[in-house]
Amino acid sequence: MQPQSLNLIILHNPSINKNRSLIMIQPINYDTKSLSQKAELATKADSNVVTDLLDTLKANSENCVGMAANMIGVNKRIIVFSMGMMNVPMINPSIISKSQEYTTSEGCLSLSGQRQTKRYKNITVKYLDSNFQEHTQEFSDFIAQIIQHEVDHCEGILI
């Protein structure tokens, strides 16, 4: 586990990338009380949260494959996750079907240690992309597990 003070020093420093856009890496929220609150629906006014989450996920890519907005202190239904070389945002995600339950052990950047949890091998998710276009998509295996973990964050469920 990284020292929290180190995260705060590094993560509060915005910088400029090659495209001259502002990179804003946010500090990680470790407060289980706020992480346990159900998230509110996101709106177009929350678009900057998507960017902040993507930047923060990239900055934590060695220890993290997905994040929810409440992990950076924003109580909105927004998640991001790594899918190969691409980081994918989902706004207001909802798992509309699931199959093939299994038990696994997971960790979380906001919590210490590993915990047992139930997941599903196959899921179908309804969500909005960063342009607020609606999608329904099927996911399986590890990507499905990541999405379920992050959607649990949106529901205020901690592993």
Q: What tokens does 51 get?
A: 């960017």
pLDDT score at 16: 41
pLDDT score at 23: 67
pLDDT score at 36: 94
Within a domain: 12: yes
Within a domain: 42: yes
Domain, as residue range, for 43 = 4-154
**What's the N-to-C CA distance of the chain in angstroms?**
17
How many separate domains does the chain show? 1
Specify the pTM. Answer: 0.84
pLDDT score at 126: 99
Contact, 41 vs 78, CB < 8 A?
A: no
The CA R_g of the chain, rounded to the nearest whole Å, is 15
Name 143's Cβ contacts closer than 8 Å, sequence gap at least 6: 81, 83
Other C-beta atoms within 10 Å of 54: how many?
A: 19
pLDDT score at 22: 60
Report the CATH number that the domain containing residue 38 is assigned in CATH.
Answer: 3.90.45.10
Residues designated catalytic:
150
Within a domain: 159: no
Within a domain: 140: yes
Within a domain: 20: yes
Q: What tokens does 138 get?
A: 């099927």
Indicate the angle between helix axes 47-59 and 4-11, nearest 10 degrees: 120
φ, ψ of residue 133 in degrees (nearest 5): -95, 135
pLDDT in tens, the chain (159 residues): 433 333 332 333 344 444 435 667 888 888 899 999 999 999 999 999 999 999 999 999 999 999 999 999 999 999 999 998 999 999 999 999 999 999 999 988 888 889 999 999 999 999 999 999 999 999 999 999 999 999 999 999 998
pLDDT score at 110: 87
Within a domain: 88: yes
